[in-house]
């Protein structure tokens, strides 16, 4: 009889992709996925420690799961990802009902570890080695052997993430990633292309290449057959027959080269949407963050990107209230936001992270000031995002369908949701006589409403859109 698996994922897209792979590896061992933790035989929590209170959230969830385990003593509970890597054995000491603690580079061992638990060889399993990277034979054996099964995304049938590297060498002073995900390591070129080809053969139309700093792909370890860089990988992936859209995230501004920028003009599949985290507009703060660029250098790269691809939609990340951030430093950040006019941004209050250098900085900014600055920054961003989206009013926008809903009540207008090449969420209504386009189809939507976070419009034509054209 099959066993039931439930995975709770926190954090970033890399964690989402890791969770998918865990689910697919375990499906090969007879596990069937369920959204209901109360039905599960195995619950995995895939954790993220980038933001404040990550550990508390994990411990609180584990506390709630204790009741479930008391009712069903065959239930197994595992903690994976960054908090597992960071806390290690402390998790089992605090929460003895946890069966498994698996670090960021060891999740491929889950089937083997579970088999050893089932066989009674282990009572509890902890696997935290940070050398289980893409290039070691045991990793490649498990991942490549299972590739046809791993490739298919369970989250969205037409879009998928593909991890191209892990870890980071940058040691930004606020960040825990180099400690929890290890040093930067690039995945072999051929393995990435294999995975992309498998995904597209299974119907995926949009691929997002993932890494903590994709711009430095290939720098830390040679990626056979020769030293290849990220633009080479983009070009090779873009050649995949049947791939309609290509995106990537995340990019470090200091490693953004003219060659990579030119890819936005050269590769038809590469969407005009770029996430380029700036974090602050103050040179003093950027230096203390150890970011390796100035505000002026960042602005120069933005200007060059816009020269190469005038319709590019830029997104970014901001941290407000970094230690020592003065009112003038924050004004510099607001000024940079005014000048660049990002289409969207993720913004957070600074918080201490274990092991990160800035945790020891003594000139912390009060919570009250951080909250007030964050509200000002988000208020301005909302105004700019709304202005950006309003520029689509009355225009035709090309959208890839992601989701459609069947009306629950008779007479209700069928509606669907998709995404523009610039990564705007677009809700659309059908007109009388139209049929709902399937996920993955490119359609034209006439925009008649714009909010700060999404667009709305009516479907114009789902049949006559050339599938190779993505830049509407």
What is the Cα Rg of the chain in Å? 23
Tell me how many residues contact ligand SF4 (CB under 6 A). 10
Measured from the CB of residue 389, what is the shortest distance to ligand SF4 in angstroms? 28
| Contact map string, positions 290 to 329, toward ligand SF4, x by CB under 6 A | ----------------------------------------
Min. distance of Cβ 291 from ligand SF4 in angstroms?
Answer: 7
Q: Is 122 helix (H, G, I), strand (E, B) or coil?
A: coil
CA distance linking residue 169 with residue 171, whole number of Å:
6
Shortest distance in whole angstroms from residue 351 CB to ligand SF4: 14
CB of 245 to ligand SF4, least distance (A): 24
The smaller minimum CB distance to ligand SF4, of residues 92 and 210, is found at 210
**Roughly what angle, to the nearest 10 degrees, separates helices 327-340 and 295-308?**
10
Q: Which of 9, 15, 46, 170 binds ligand SF4 (CB under 6 A)?
A: 170
Using the rule CB under 6 A, give the single segment among 171-179, 328-336, 343-351, 450-458 that binds ligand SF4: 171-179
Looking at the Cβ atoms of 288 and 419, the one nearer to ligand SF4 is 288
Minimum gap (Å) between residue 325 Cβ and ligand SF4: 17
**Binding segment toward ligand SF4, per CB under 6 A, in 97-105, 115-123, 166-174, 262-270:** 166-174
SS3 category, 381? helix
Q: Is 178 a binder of ligand SF4 (CB under 6 A)?
A: yes
State how far the alpha carbon of 281 is from the alpha carbons of 153, 324, 377, in Å: 38, 14, 12
- Closest approach of ligand SF4 to the CB of residue 329, in Å: 18
> Are residues 218 and 188 in contact, defined by beta-carbon separation less than 8 angstroms?
no
Phi/psi at 273 (5° precision): -145, 130
Per-residue string for binding with ligand SF4, 90-129, x by CB under 6 A? ----------------------------------------
> Cis omega before residue 108 (within 30°)?
no
Judged on CB neighbours under 10 Å (0-12, 13-18, 19+), 21 is buried
Q: How many CB atoms lie within 10 A of CB 64?
A: 9
- Hey, what are 115's tokens? 């088999």
CA distances from 291 to 145, 240, 295, 335, 366 (A): 39, 34, 10, 19, 23
Number of other residues whose CB lies within 10 A of the CB of residue 466: 8
Residue-level length of the chain: 472
Please provide residue 455's backbone torsions phi and psi, each rounded to the nearest 5 degrees: -120, 155
Using rule CB under 6 A, residue 172 touches ligand SF4: yes
> Does 346 help bind ligand SF4 (rule: CB under 6 A)?
no
Q: Of 442, 441, 343, which is closest to residue 392 (Cα–Cα)?
A: 343
Nearer to ligand SF4, 178 or 418 (CB): 178
Q: Which stretch binds ligand SF4 (CB under 6 A): 89-97, 170-178, 233-241, 451-459?
A: 170-178
Q: Parallel, antiparallel, or unpaired for β 42-47 and 31-33?
A: unpaired
Return the number of the residue (194 or 317) whose C-beta is nearest ligand SF4: 317
Contact string 204-243 vs ligand SF4 (x = CB under 6 A): --------xx------------------------------
Q: Of the listed pieces 173-181, 418-426, 439-447, 462-470, which binds ligand SF4 according to CB under 6 A? A: 173-181
C-alpha neighbours within 13 Å on the C-beta side of residue 278: 30
Choice between 15 and 240, CB closer to ligand SF4: 15
- Kindly list the residues in this chain that would bind ligand SF4 in the complex (CB under 6 A): 168, 170-172, 175, 177-178, 212-213, 252
């Amino acid at each position: 009889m099959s066993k039931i698996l439930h995975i709770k994922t926190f954090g970033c897209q890399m964690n989402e992709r890791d969770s998918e792979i865990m689910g697919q590896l375990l499906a090969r061992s007879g596990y069937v996925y369920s959204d209901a933790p109360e039905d599960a035989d195995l619950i995995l929590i895939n954790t993220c420690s980038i933001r404040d209170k990550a550990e508390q959230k994990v411990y609180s969830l584990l506390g709630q799961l204790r009741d479930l385990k008391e009712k069903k003593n065959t239930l197994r509970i595992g903690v994976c990802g960054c908090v597992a890597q960071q806390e290690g054995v402390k998790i089992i000491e605090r929460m003895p009902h946890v069966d498994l603690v698996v670090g960021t580079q060891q999740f491929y061992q889950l089937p083997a570890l579970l088999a050893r638990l089932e066989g009674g060889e282990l009572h509890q399993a902890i696997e935290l080695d940070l050398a289980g990277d893409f290039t070691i034979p045991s990793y490649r054996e498990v991942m490549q052997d299972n590739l046809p099964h791993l490739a298919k995304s369970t989250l969205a049938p037409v879009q998928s993430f593909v991890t191209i590297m892990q870890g980071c060498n940058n040691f930004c002073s606020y960040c825990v990633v180099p400690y929890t995900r290890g040093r930067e390591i690039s995945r072999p070129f051929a393995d990435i292309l294999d995975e992309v080809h498998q995904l597209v053969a299974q119907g995926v139309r949009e691929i997002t290449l993932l890494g903590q700093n994709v711009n430095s792909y290939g720098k830390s370890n040679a990626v056979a057959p020769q030293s290849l860089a990220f633009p080479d990988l983009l070009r090779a992936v873009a050649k995949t027959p049947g791939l309609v859209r290509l995106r990537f995230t995340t990019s470090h501004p200091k490693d953004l080269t003219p060659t990579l920028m030119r890819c936005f003009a050269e590769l038809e599949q590469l969407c005009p949407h770029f996430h380029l985290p700036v974090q602050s507009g103050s040179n003093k703060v950027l230096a203390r963050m150890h970011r390796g660029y100035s505000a002026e250098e960042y602005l120069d790269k933005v200007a060059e990107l816009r020269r190469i691809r005038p319709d590019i939609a830029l997104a970014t990340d901001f941290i407000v209230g970094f230690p020592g951030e003065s009112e003038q430093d924050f004004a510099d950040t607001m000024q940079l936001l005014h000048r660049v006019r990002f289409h969207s941004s993720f913004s957070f209050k600074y918080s201490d992270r274990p092991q990160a250098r800035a945790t020891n900085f003594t000139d912390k900014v009060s919570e009250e000031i951080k909250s007030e600055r964050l509200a000002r920054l988000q208020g301005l961003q909302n105004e700019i995002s709304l202005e950006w989206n309003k520029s689509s009013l009355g225009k035709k926008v090309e959208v890839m369908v992601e989701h459609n809903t069947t009306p629950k009540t008779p007479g209700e207008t069928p509606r669907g949701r998709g995404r523009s090449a610039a990564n705007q969420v677009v809700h659309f209504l059908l007109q009388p006589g139209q049929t709902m386009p399937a996920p993955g189809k490119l359609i034209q939507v006439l925009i008649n409403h714009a909010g700060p976070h999404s667009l709305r419009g009516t479907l114009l034509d789902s049949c006559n859109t050339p599938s190779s054209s993505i830049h509407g």
